[in-house]
Amino acid sequence: MAIESDKDDLFHEPRPAIGDFRFDRSVATVFDDMVTRSVPYYVEIQRMLVELVRDFALPDSAVYDLGCSTGTTFINLHPHLDPRIRFVGVDNSAEMLEKCRAKFKEHGVNRPFELQCRDLNDGIVVEDASVAMLILTLQFIRPLRRDRLIADIYKGLRPQGCLLVVEKVLGEDSLFNRLFIKYYYDMKRRNGYSESEISQKREALENVLIPYKLLENRELLLATGFRHVDVFFKWYNFCGLVAVK
């Protein structure tokens, strides 16, 4: 997977005050580098998503990516899916969608697609989908709005349709949680982030990224009605879940 953005040095300079993290133009510009250096096994997760989506996506149906950012997942999927499959990307950052549109053009994504600028806190209308994805996005939705969003997705999925969720998670108890966070920051150091970049980003995300435990996410999916739920990826405080209607 090519990295198609400037280097992420957003938190390099010490800031006098740290505001809440926002997916604005400055983030969109460096996002592909940021996500690759901040999410463990991001490239492998993307490869696994292609593998999974390929087995669930049906011709003449839609594949939704909710929180699609710069469109990396769709671009990775495009060569592997039937051209009759429609892409629907949703994000509430106009800057991310602008970047996504430019990348689609560059990569020749010529199938029917739609990019919607919407706030997923308000729920979503999903129509005739065989696959929906929430890749590192549910964690940014207000906890009180998550049940409704998952229910909306469930409603719009075809029978046997699949929802893929990747999330940062809390450890199941505080001991593991502490250790997993320590190993996560070690990974960020290995990927070239400094102490002040790590701590300023942590502060910026504090009120914005609200992780659940893996089992809480699993329960949310089962309680909504998904019949089969399994973990397809786990690395300390990150996990991927696959749920089938």
The interface region with ligand SAM, picked from 69-77, 102-110, 178-186, 214-222 by CB under 6 A, is: 69-77
∠ CA 213-214-217, rounded to 5°: 90
| 170 is an interface residue for ligand SAM by CB under 6 A | no
CA 147 centroid distance within chain:
17
- 3 state DSSP class of 212: coil
Least separation in angstroms between residue 174's CB and ligand SAM is 25
Count of residues engaged in binding ligand SAM, rule: CB under 6 A:
19
| 237 is an interface residue for ligand SAM by CB under 6 A | no
| 91 is an interface residue for ligand SAM by CB under 6 A | yes
Residues 220, 226, 228, 229, Cα dihedral to 10°:
-30
Whose Cβ is closer to ligand SAM: residue 62's or residue 222's?
62
Structure tokens at 11: 């938190």
| 73 is an interface residue for ligand SAM by CB under 6 A | yes
As a whole number of angstroms, the distance between CA 23 and CA 27 comes to 6
The interface region with ligand SAM, picked from 63-71, 156-164, 176-184, 215-223 by CB under 6 A, is: 63-71
Relative orientation angle of helices 174-190 and 195-205, to the nearest 10 degrees = 130
Kindly identify the residues of this chain, within the stretch 12-51, that bind ligand SAM according to CB under 6 A. 23, 35
Which of 5, 61, 93, 217 binds ligand SAM (CB under 6 A)? It is: 93
Which of 60, 106, 119, 147 binds ligand SAM (CB under 6 A)? It is: 119
Least separation in angstroms between residue 54's CB and ligand SAM is 17
Whose Cβ is closer to ligand SAM: residue 93's or residue 200's?
93
| Residue 186 near residue 30 (C-beta atoms within 8 A) | no
The interface region with ligand SAM, picked from 51-59, 118-126, 191-199, 227-235 by CB under 6 A, is: 118-126
Least separation in angstroms between residue 34's CB and ligand SAM is 9
Tell me the residue ranges of DSSP E strands in 169-237: 228-235
- CA distances to 138, 161, 164, 222, 231 from 228, rounded to whole Å, are 19, 11, 12, 8, 10
CA atoms within 13 A on the CB side of 27: 16
Least separation in angstroms between residue 72's CB and ligand SAM is 5
| 212 is an interface residue for ligand SAM by CB under 6 A | no
